[in-house]
């Protein structure tokens, strides 16, 4: 019988009635590297948060058995004491503090109680760094003097300093280049030799094939299967099938009576460099076009550069050294500022409605007119309040925003209704081209359907619509055509008949192979 360090049995976790995890089972053997695969939103991160105590014992049902006993963690601290350490996708280092101080943050080396022993801190920091293969690091320098790849290794070193038994890595290579990734994967294999168990969440199937002993596939909050590498079950096709093998029922309203017209939106030779590093190219030679009445998807994995593309086009809100041209109705238009974009009939509904879309403390009416006010709802700078009220009421009815009145604050609405307010805000600017970034993220199925209906209405009205989505079924269900982005480049273009989850994944894999 195998020796399991961790067994998660029948884990179910609900968020206000929506099941994020539904009867999930996961068994991890001592000393293995266990990969967890699944689409964005499949429930991987939720599962890891259950394990590490972010969602405390009692807020989920089912058992977490760790080292033979039921784990009742109430916080990250609890689980860390037991040797479970999670390293998140976003680095949890304090950028301006020294490497040494970061290594022992929350786990300080002290002489007397509460007095930091700096000598020991520095010396042991160097020891920890050596364990992860980092030598010659000046531990007195601030963390941000080192690159992301090194910082990722420092995070692992920090975890090792906590006597870790089970290390969880959430997309550890997402921000790394190939060489850094290879380093990190080899380090994981090294840790395995030392008897440390790793759970790794990753999208990169070649990496999983390289390091993982077992692979558990999660889809829609359920465990689909666990594949064993030793028994030869593991290959890309098999994993992809497991990840995407879901039936599509009529979750998407049919779009009828839409005439696809001429190309009204075009981006040509779009190149963008990252805001942090002027030498690192984020988007390379992107060319896309959208016709009137057409819904075009931008598919790709997280970090493929889809949002960056939209944000860099829309008011140059992302990146630097931006070059390329944008055409609306065949005319080249400037898009340097958001106002220019609005004037040229562009609209962008951001993926994060709470941070970038809404002013939560303000009313539905205020939010609805924020973008359109200057152009359509004022006269020499004085607001035409009555017309605002009429417009807000009209859209509340038209796209079915469920609220007691338009004077209700946006913060008090449900996610779906908040999203509708953001849509209303941009529809009121009377755009011809709408870029919808993750338009249904975090909203329930019913509201999703309504959003899809709005997309159909927009297409019917002859608008050009771009849908960015991490949920492949959504791209398939709503789009007439799709571009697949990968690592800042167009990896493929698929027509309506060609858009399948397999084809999208194949585009990504082929592109990865070409570049790797």
Partner 1 sequence: MENKKTVNVDLKQYGMLFLLIVIYLIFAALTKGATLKPANINNLVMQNGYVVILAVGMLLCCLTGNVDLGVGSLVALTGAVCGIVMIDMGLNMWVAILLALLAGCASGVFVGFFVAYLGIPPFITTLATWLMWRGLTYTVLQAQTKGPFKEDFTFIGAGFLPTMKIPFGNGTLDLVSIIVAIVISVLVILAEFKGIATKKKYNLAQNPAWQLVAKDAVIIFLVFFVFFNLGRNAGIPFILVILAIIVGIYQFITANTVAGRQIYALGGNRKAADLSGIDTKKVFFWVYANSGLTAAIAGIVLASRNASATPKAGDGFEMDAIASCYIGGTAVAGGAGTIMGAVVGAFIMGVLNNGMSIFGWSTDIQKVVKGAVLLAAVTADLLSKRKKN
If the CB atoms of residues 282 and 425 are measured against partner 1, the closer one turns out to be 425
Instruction: Please report whether residue 341 would count as binding partner 1 according to CB under 8 A.
Output: yes
Instruction: Please report whether residue 431 would count as binding partner 1 according to CB under 8 A.
Output: no
CB of 357 to partner 1, least distance (A): 6
Instruction: Choose one: 1-9, 68-76, 156-164, 376-384; the region binding partner 1 (CB under 8 A).
Output: 376-384
Cα–Cα distance between 34 and 154 in angstroms, integer? Answer: 22
Instruction: Choose one: 51-59, 262-270, 372-380, 460-468; the region binding partner 1 (CB under 8 A).
Output: 372-380
CB of 407 to partner 1, least distance (A): 7
Assign 381 to helix, strand or coil.
coil
Long-range contacts (CB closer than 8 Å, 24 or more residues apart) made by 496-504: 499/297, 499/475, 500/476, 501/240, 501/243, 501/244, 501/472, 501/473, 501/476, 502/240, 502/241, 502/244, 504/299, 504/472, 504/475
Q: Locate 402 and state its tokens.
A: 């469920």
Tokens 């068994």 -> residue = 27
- Give the DSSP per-residue string, 247-308: ---S-S----S----SEEEEEEEEEEE-SS-TTSEEEEEEEEEEETT-EEEEE--TTSSHHH
Cα–Cα distance between 299 and 506 in angstroms, integer? Answer: 12
- How many other CB atoms are there within 10 angstroms of residue 373's CB atom? 17
Instruction: Please report whether residue 315 would count as binding partner 1 according to CB under 8 A.
Output: yes
Cα–Cα distance between 458 and 506 in angstroms, integer? Answer: 31
When binding is defined by CB under 8 A, the residue of 92, 383, 445, 461 that contacts partner 1 is 383
If the CB atoms of residues 191 and 421 are measured against partner 1, the closer one turns out to be 421
Instruction: Please report whether residue 418 would count as binding partner 1 according to CB under 8 A.
Output: no
Q: Name beta bridge partners: 484.
A: 299, 492
Instruction: Please report whether residue 119 would count as binding partner 1 according to CB under 8 A.
Output: no
Q: How far is CA 242 from CA 47, 67, 110, 220, in A?
A: 18, 29, 49, 11
When binding is defined by CB under 8 A, the residue of 104, 270, 318, 348 that contacts partner 1 is 348
Cα–Cα distance between 148 and 144 in angstroms, integer? Answer: 8
**462 burial via Cβ count (<10 Å: 0-12, 13-18, 19+):** middle
Instruction: Please report whether residue 366 would count as binding partner 1 according to CB under 8 A.
Output: yes
The footprint of partner 1 on this chain (CB under 8 A) covers a number of residues equal to 35
Write out the binding residues for partner 1, residues 36-65 only, by CB under 8 A: none
If the CB atoms of residues 348 and 483 are measured against partner 1, the closer one turns out to be 348
Query: What 3 state SS string does 127-155 have?
Result: HHHHHCCCCCCCCCCEHHHCCHHHHHHHH
Instruction: Choose one: 164-172, 297-305, 381-389, 458-466; the region binding partner 1 (CB under 8 A).
Output: 381-389
Instruction: Please report whether residue 115 would count as binding partner 1 according to CB under 8 A.
Output: no
Cα–Cα distance between 198 and 257 in angstroms, integer? Answer: 53
Instruction: Choose one: 37-45, 101-109, 258-266, 311-319; the region binding partner 1 (CB under 8 A).
Output: 311-319
Between 148-160 and 178-193, two packed helices, what is the crossing angle to 10 degrees? 10
If the CB atoms of residues 329 and 374 are measured against partner 1, the closer one turns out to be 374
When binding is defined by CB under 8 A, the residue of 34, 203, 306, 425 that contacts partner 1 is 425
If the CB atoms of residues 113 and 397 are measured against partner 1, the closer one turns out to be 397
- How many other CB atoms are there within 10 angstroms of residue 478's CB atom? 26
CB of 98 to partner 1, least distance (A): 25
Instruction: Choose one: 55-63, 78-86, 183-191, 365-373; the region binding partner 1 (CB under 8 A).
Output: 365-373
When binding is defined by CB under 8 A, the residue of 46, 214, 370, 440 that contacts partner 1 is 370
When binding is defined by CB under 8 A, the residue of 162, 192, 222, 373 that contacts partner 1 is 373
How many C-alpha atoms does 462 have within 13 Å on its Cβ side?
Answer: 6
When binding is defined by CB under 8 A, the residue of 113, 331, 386, 513 that contacts partner 1 is 386
- How many other CB atoms are there within 10 angstroms of residue 322's CB atom? 17
Instruction: Please report whether residue 34 would count as binding partner 1 according to CB under 8 A.
Output: no
Instruction: Please report whether residue 338 would count as binding partner 1 according to CB under 8 A.
Output: yes
Q: 193-215: buried (b, 16+ CB within 10 Å) or exposed (e) per residue?
A: eeebbbbbbbbbbebbeebbbbb
Instruction: Please report whether residue 390 would count as binding partner 1 according to CB under 8 A.
Output: yes
The site map against partner 1 for 392-411 (x = CB under 8 A) is -x-----------x-x----
If the CB atoms of residues 132 and 347 are measured against partner 1, the closer one turns out to be 347
Instruction: Please report whether residue 357 would count as binding partner 1 according to CB under 8 A.
Output: yes
Q: Give residues in contact with partner 1 (CB under 8 A).
A: 314-315, 317, 337-339, 341-342, 348, 350, 355-362, 366, 370-371, 373-374, 378, 381-383, 385-386, 389-390, 393, 405, 407, 425
């Amino acid at each position: 019988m195998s020796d399991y360090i961790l067994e998660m049995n029948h884990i179910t976790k609900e968020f206000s009635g929506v099941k994020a995890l539904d009867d999930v089972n996961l068994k991890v053997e001592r000393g293995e590297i266990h990969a967890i695969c699944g689409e964005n939103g499949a429930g991987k991160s939720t599962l890891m948060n259950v394990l590490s105590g972010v969602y405390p014992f009692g807020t989920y049902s089912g058992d977490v058995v760790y080292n033979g006993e039921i784990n009742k963690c109430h916080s990250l601290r609890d689980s860390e004491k037991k040797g479970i350490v999670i390293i998140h996708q976003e680095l949890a280092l304090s950028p301006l503090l020294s490497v040494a101080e970061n290594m022992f943050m929350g786990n300080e080396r002290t002489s007397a109680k509460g007095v930091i022993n700096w000598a020991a801190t520095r010396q042991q920091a160097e020891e920890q760094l050596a364990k992860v293969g980092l030598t010659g690091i000046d531990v007195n320098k601030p963390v941000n003097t080192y690159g992301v790849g090194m910082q990722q290794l420092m995070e692992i070193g920090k975890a090792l300093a906590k006597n870790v038994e089970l290390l969880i890595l959430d997309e550890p290579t997402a921000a790394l280049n190939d060489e850094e990734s290879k380093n990190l994967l080899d380090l994981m294999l090294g840790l395995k030799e030392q008897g440390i168990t790793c759970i790794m969440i990753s999208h990169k199937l070649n990496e999983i094939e390289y390091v993982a002993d077992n692979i558990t596939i999660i889809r829609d909050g359920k465990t689909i299967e666990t594949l064993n590498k030793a028994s030869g079950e593991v290959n890309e096709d098999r994993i992809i099938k497991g990840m995407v093998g879901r039936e599509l029922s009529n979750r998407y309203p049919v779009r009828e009576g839409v005439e696809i017209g001429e190309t009204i939106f075009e981006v040509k030779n779009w190149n963008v460099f990252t805001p942090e590093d002027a030498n690192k190219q984020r988007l390379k030679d992107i060319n896309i076009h959208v016709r009137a009445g057409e819904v075009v998807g931008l598919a790709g994995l997280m970090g493929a550069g889809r949002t960056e593309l939209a944000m860099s086009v829309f008011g140059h809100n992302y990146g630097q050294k931006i070059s390329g041209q944008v055409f609306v109705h065949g005319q080249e238009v400037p898009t340097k500022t958001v106002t220019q974009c609005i004037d040229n009939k562009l609209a962008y509904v951001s993926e994060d409605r709470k941070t970038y879309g809404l002013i939560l403390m303000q009313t539905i009416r205020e939010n609805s007119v924020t973008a359109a006010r200057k152009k359509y709802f004022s006269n020499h700078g004085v607001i035409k309040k009555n017309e605002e009220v009429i417009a807000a009421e009209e859209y509340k009815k038209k796209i079915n925003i469920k609220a007691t009145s338009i004077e209700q604050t946006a913060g008090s609405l449900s996610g779906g209704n908040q999203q509708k307010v953001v849509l209303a805000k941009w529809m009121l600017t009377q755009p011809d081209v709408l870029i919808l970034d993750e338009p249904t993220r975090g909203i329930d199925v019913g509201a999703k359907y309504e959003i899809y209906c709005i997309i159909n209405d927009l297409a019917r009205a002859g608008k050009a619509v771009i849908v960015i989505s991490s949920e492949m079924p959504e791209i398939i269900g709503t789009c007439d055509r799709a571009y697949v982005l990968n690592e800042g480049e167009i990896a493929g273009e698929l027509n309506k008949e060609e858009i399948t989850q397999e084809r999208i994944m194949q585009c990504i894999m082929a592109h990865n192979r070409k570049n790797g």
